[in-house]
Structure 1
Amino acid sequence: MSVATPAVLENEADAAASVSAVAPKGILRTIVTSKRGASALVYLVLIFLACELAGVLTSGGPNVQNLLAVNQGPSIHHLLGTDELGRDLLTRILYGGRSSLVGIAEALGALLIISIPLGVIAGYVGGLTDRIITRGADLVMSIPVIIILLAVLAIFGHSMTTAMIAFGVLGSAGVTRVVRSAALAARSEAFIDAAKVIGVRRTDIIFRHVLPQCRGVIVVQAALFAAIALGVQTGLTFLSLGPAPPAPTWGGMVADAVSQFYVAPWQLVPSGVVIALTVIAFGVLGDVVRDAIADSHSAGVAGGRHRVRRRPDSPRAGAAPEGALLAATGLSVAVGADSAQTFLIKEVSLHVGFGEALGIVGESGSGKSITMKAIAGLLPAGVAVTEGAVWFEGTELTTGGADAYRSVRGRGVSIVTQEPMRALDPSYRVGRLLADLVRSLDGCTRAQARECAIELLGRVQILDPEDVAQRYPHEISGGMAQRVAIAMALAGKPRLLIADEPTTALDVTVQAEILDLLRRLQQDTGMALILVSHDLGVVSEICDRVCVMYAGEVVEVAQASELFDQPMHPYTRALMSANPGSWQGGQLSTIPGMVPSPQDWPVGCHFAPRCGYATDACVREPIILRQVTATDQARCVRAEVLSAELSRTPTEVRQ
């Protein structure tokens, strides 16, 4: 098991805090950029402002009568008509909305003040505290709400404020349980453990890390409860249990309209439509936030949307190289809006031929995994392809959207990640997972899918596939889980398998077995392979060509034999010298410094600050990836000179 250093843990905690800090802006942006969310928000803002400015927007009070204009329909003098006493309906709706909106705020305030702290504390602290809070919530949920509200109104003289606060208190029990579930899930995240290890105080963990993770469900529950609160308040005032007439209330106006329905049916429309639209608006807001949370959770899994956000002036990359099975040409991926866009990879070009094995190497933070996700169409929310193209068997995928990627996933391209458990649903047995996948790809019968699942498990060298097929994912080891994940990737007989650091979470012995398995599968099936790895020795044995990445760029592409014998880029040679497999005694070489963050990339060569061969030409302007030999490319102004020099002398990297 790997042990995280304090520096790494601190970075994880700080990253979590950064995400938490921008989270509210993310929810608001989600609402505003959605047509449904924006419409609902605009309506609620307008109705709130109109009610607050009722005295300015109307010429008379809500109880001004005109017995000469009784039960009239809409007119120039009364835009929504009048009631049985000649009172203007628009004026009464605006003044009545004040009490309705205040009642919603009172109920929401009581709900959130109780449910948020209790839910977060119960979920994070657990133990006896959790049991006490949970049992208390269960007890409150068993109380009949309507009876309590009727009793409160009777005792406090039809005080709607008291009734709505009581309703918020009673409703807080259910929301407390929902918030508790979200806090319980957040407590198990790795960054929470990291914060504990580095000594962050419990209160800081709760407020900075756990509470922001619950923001989504809190917003959803608040929006839905607001709609319910409006319905309850309207029902109570409809039954004359609220403010006494002639005080304007939406429910009271509905009651008045019902009594005059056969004489003036129009009276029911204004108040009824306003109430219905307000309830719908609150419900839509909750749905938009809920859908946004679901999209963020599903980002990065098969079937997710591939995001392409090219600038109007961005160039389309040329066609894929001839004979390439898959190719990325001039591919750039960025996060953030155009005004504050940060590139994660920039103008990455690589390709893999039919039956070829391509290795991708580089330090953590070089952009290897994000490149693979862009190629497979699995970019997370907020990250998008801004330039370039991805080609598979001559078909351009990036402009085709989700349908284009869906047509090649499984049978054309499959991927194995470094976390096999993420590919295995814990509620299904291994055999069922594989069989369902086979049926979805081939449309065969259950019996045939079952046989194929057993065959796939045997194919990845699981000794007793029948037994493993009956187990749940938590009942198998990490190495066996990775084998199952590989079997799932092979279910569609793909022509290309992307293995993104498939052995990172495994011990050394199992790593060797998995890599040997991948090599044999690639040779036996003839499928192409893209292997992302930190192990240069494995890459040299398995791969035909090697692509070296650094800080979001491809710095060298060469045949494996030529790259390891005569590297053309100083970074490649530095990686080889720092590889533990090349250690022959003495002090192992290291590369000083760290891979720069995307926002800190230098203007010229990204490796220049760490390179002992850098000159002024390396830092003046961006360096292009150019063809140095017939088969090899390098992003270095001195590639020809250094390839000969580096093949004879040890690496001269700044210490």
Structure 2
Amino acid sequence: MSGTPAPRRGVPGRLLCHPLGLASALVLGLIVLAVLLAPVLAAQGPGASELRDSFRGPSGGHPFGFDSAGRDVLSRLLYGGRTTLGGAVLSVAVALLLGVPAGLAAGYYGRWFDGVASWVSDLIMALPAMVVLLASRAVLGSTAWVLMVVLGFLVAPAFFRLVRGIVVQVRGELYVDAARVSGLRDARIISRHVLIVVRGPIIIQTALVAGVAIGLQAGLEFLGFGGHDGAPTWGAMLNEAFQNIQRAPLLLLWPGLALGLTSGALVLLAAALPDVLEGRGGSTGRAVRRTAEAPVAPEPAARDERAALLSVRGLAVAYTLPDGSDREVVHGVDLDVRPGEVVGLVGESGSGKTQTAFSVLGLLPEGGRVSRGSVLIEGQEVVGLPERRHRALRGDVVAYVPQEPMSNLDPAFTIGAQLVEPIRCKLGLSRKEAAARALELLRMVEIADPERAFRSYPHQISGGMAQRVLIAGAMSCEPRLLIADEPTTALDVRVQAEILELLRRLQRERDLGVLLVTHNLGVVADLCDRVAVMREGRIVESGTAEQVLHAPADPYTRGLLDAVLDHVPARPAWRPRKANA
């Protein structure tokens, strides 16, 4: 059916659609496969030696030639990979066993264990890894397996801090509280609700730590401080090749190439894994998703006349739940905003109005995605648009004014710095020109002393002034569409009126299209030309402001209007009751 969303891909399927992740995974897989098949691919054992073959070049069955002792380089490279990669696996395993459980317990339970574990973690991270490894070699011997266990102990705090930080944020979520109330044990809650959140970052961290372990191990062996009881390793091969660099410089190439390809593949795979695990494929993946969703576009609503500035048809937004299932929170929304028009998107909290606005901006929170539908901005389809091209629309085509102004300003930077940087980035102005434009914007939004505000930090200005600063930032690159999400919620009544008057003036002077997300019907009556009323993720009524506010057709809209207290008589004055005689 046309409205059926495309099937959700698993991680392997998303990896196939991510060029960077696929290439790095293939390189790493080929290296591991070659190492595992060393007995089949190698012409002789890694220790077999013929002195008459010393430094001999490539020949039949020996494509990489021989080393200084007459041993086959390919054989030693393949068997050495077993030792080098095995040491990295051992280090990562030790780090995971120590860091992840400790991070889960510290983040979930807190209290004294969190303090002690964090102190120990900070202490270990302060130790210089190479010095500790050299000292461990002197005490424990030169067996590299032992040194890899020590290295695992040294990198365990990286997993601990990562897991603890995420769990601290997750443990306060409502669904965790609901699990506690339902009677689930802590172990079950951690394994079901918490571990699923941290598994993605753990996988990414594992790839990075494995690359670090390979590099440190090879470095020790290159310096001559490591050893595997005569077994070949890539670091030891580099050491030997360096000693004979004048006679056979090509011997440096093969172990160096093996180390470079393996470490590079791990780093690139770690860079690609966030997109793969969160369902954000590369350009190929987006093309596949758009193709799969193509049958959804020609719905009856999509054939209607669409607004030139913003046109939304059949928009649905879905989120992936911790158990892997999907939950749709916005269902088939149709919406239009024309140049010079103010459209109010009204509804109670949780109705889906902010999710609709974020879909237009391409800024849905983690786990959210547009599962079907179409969003046109100035005729350009933005659903499935690559982030780089979507970013190009923000600022000079579509801008955003958030609610809670003080939370949206960085306390570490002045107001001027936060206005100047986007202007320089988007418009390419010099610092002096951008500063002059920022001051002009502050005057435009009617800040009495723009120079002082420019030099101030967020904590030095009021909430109303902070909202004006956010409006100035939104208007800095001359956008044609402004999305204002509850722009007056956190302000007192008098400041609300001033901000609304400012928005009205800017909209009128610049022929600006405005999508106003609000639950305040008074704001709608004061500012909006048309209104769309949302309930439980659906538009239940739309029309002109006069029509919707004075002759609502839907019972939900009438209920919202009935809840307004403007016409309710004042409560009688309170009088104390007389004491009983």
Q: Secondary structure at the match of 2:147?
A: helix
**Residue 563 in structure 1 maps to residue 548 in structure 2:** yes
Match of 2:215 among 231, 245, 270: 231
Q: Secondary structure at the match of 1:309?
A: helix
Runs of 5+ consecutive residues of structure 1 not aligned to the other structure: 1-24, 297-304, 587-655
Distance in 1 (CA, whole Å) between partners of 2:264 and 2:270 is 10
Match of 1:47 among 31, 51, 60: 31
Residues 484 and 515, structure 2, Cα contact 8 Å, conserved in 1: yes
Match of 2:529 among 544, 557, 570: 544
Provide closer, same or farther for how the CA distance between residues 308 and 551 of structure 1 changes in structure 2, counting only shifts above 3 A: farther
Match of 1:482 among 467, 478, 481: 467
Provide closer, same or farther for how the CA distance between residues 207 and 485 of structure 1 changes in structure 2, counting only shifts above 3 A: farther
**Residue 277 in structure 1 maps to residue 255 in structure 2:** no
In structure 2, give the amino acid aligned to 1:229. Answer: A
Q: How does 1:451-462 map to 2 (within 5 A)?
A: 453-454=438-439, 456-457=441-442, 459-460=444-445, 462=447
TM-superposed CA distance for 1:390, in Å, is 0.8
**Residue 180 in structure 1 maps to residue 161 in structure 2:** yes
Deviations 1:506-542 (A, max 9, x none): 5666555544543454456553322222223332332
Q: Secondary structure at the match of 1:78?
A: coil
**Residue 332 in structure 1 maps to residue 318 in structure 2:** no
Residues 326 and 353, structure 1, Cα contact 8 Å, conserved in 2: yes
Distance in 1 (CA, whole Å) between partners of 2:473 and 2:391 is 16
Provide closer, same or farther for how the CA distance between residues 421 and 33 of structure 1 changes in structure 2, counting only shifts above 3 A: farther
Distance in 2 (CA, whole Å) between partners of 1:520 and 1:216 is 47
TM-superposed CA distance for 1:224, in Å, is 3.0
In structure 1, give the amino acid aligned to 2:265. Answer: A
TM-superposed CA distance for 1:69, in Å, is 5.6
Residues 314 and 386, structure 1, Cα contact 8 Å, conserved in 2: yes
Distance in 2 (CA, whole Å) between partners of 1:535 and 1:546 is 12
In structure 1, give the amino acid aligned to 2:530. Answer: R
Provide closer, same or farther for how the CA distance between residues 585 and 36 of structure 1 changes in structure 2, counting only shifts above 3 A: same
**Residue 472 in structure 1 maps to residue 494 in structure 2:** no
Match of 1:431 among 399, 412, 416: 416
Provide closer, same or farther for how the CA distance between residues 208 and 472 of structure 1 changes in structure 2, counting only shifts above 3 A: farther
Distance in 2 (CA, whole Å) between partners of 1:463 and 1:422 is 22
Residues 83 and 231, structure 2, Cα contact 8 Å, conserved in 1: no
Distance in 1 (CA, whole Å) between partners of 2:218 and 2:435 is 57
In structure 1, give the amino acid aligned to 2:218. Answer: T
TM-superposed CA distance for 1:416, in Å, is 1.2
**Aligned residue number for residue 96 of structure 2:** 112
Distance in 2 (CA, whole Å) between partners of 1:533 and 1:482 is 16
Q: How does 1:146-165 map to 2 (within 5 A)?
A: 146-165=130-149
Residues 18 and 276, structure 2, Cα contact 8 Å, conserved in 1: no
**Residue 383 in structure 1 maps to residue 369 in structure 2:** yes
**Aligned residue number for residue 7 of structure 2:** none
TM-superposed CA distance for 1:328, in Å, is 0.8
Residues 307 and 384, structure 1, Cα contact 8 Å, conserved in 2: no
Provide closer, same or farther for how the CA distance between residues 577 and 378 of structure 1 changes in structure 2, counting only shifts above 3 A: same
Residues 316 and 388, structure 1, Cα contact 8 Å, conserved in 2: no
Distance in 1 (CA, whole Å) between partners of 2:249 and 2:421 is 57
Q: How does 1:42-81 map to 2 (within 5 A)?
A: 42-58=26-42, 60-65=44-49, 71-81=55-65
Deviations 1:543-588 (A, max 9, x none): 22212334444343212222233334444344434555576799xx
**Aligned residue number for residue 3 of structure 2:** none
Distance in 2 (CA, whole Å) between partners of 1:255 and 1:476 is 62
**Aligned residue number for residue 368 of structure 1:** 353
Q: Secondary structure at the match of 1:567?
A: coil
Distance in 2 (CA, whole Å) between partners of 1:444 and 1:142 is 43
Distance in 2 (CA, whole Å) between partners of 1:283 and 1:336 is 29
Residues 319 and 329, structure 1, Cα contact 8 Å, conserved in 2: no
Q: TM-score, normalised by structure 2?
A: 0.75
In structure 2, give the amino acid aligned to 1:427. Answer: A
Structure with larger RCO (C-alpha < 8 A, sep 6+): 2
Distance in 2 (CA, whole Å) between partners of 1:191 and 1:41 is 36
TM-superposed CA distance for 1:160, in Å, is 1.6
Deviations 1:270-326 (A, max 9, x none): 333222222222222333347889999xxxxxxxx999835344446868848x552
Deviations 1:224-261 (A, max 9, x none): 33223223323434455444665333333334444555
Distance in 1 (CA, whole Å) between partners of 2:411 and 2:545 is 40
Match of 2:341 among 332, 337, 356: 356
Distance in 2 (CA, whole Å) between partners of 1:498 and 1:260 is 67
Q: How does 1:235-254 map to 2 (within 5 A)?
A: 235-238=219-222, 241-243=225-227, 246-254=230-238
**Aligned residue number for residue 309 of structure 1:** 290
Residues 35 and 78, structure 2, Cα contact 8 Å, conserved in 1: yes
Distance in 2 (CA, whole Å) between partners of 1:349 and 1:216 is 35
Q: How does 1:210-221 map to 2 (within 5 A)?
A: 218-221=202-205
**Residue 102 in structure 1 maps to residue 82 in structure 2:** no
In structure 1, give the amino acid aligned to 2:255. Answer: S
- Report % sequence identity: 38
Q: Secondary structure at the match of 2:315?
A: strand
Number of paired residues?
A: 547
Provide closer, same or farther for how the CA distance between residues 275 and 548 of structure 1 changes in structure 2, counting only shifts above 3 A: same
Distance in 1 (CA, whole Å) between partners of 2:481 and 2:377 is 13
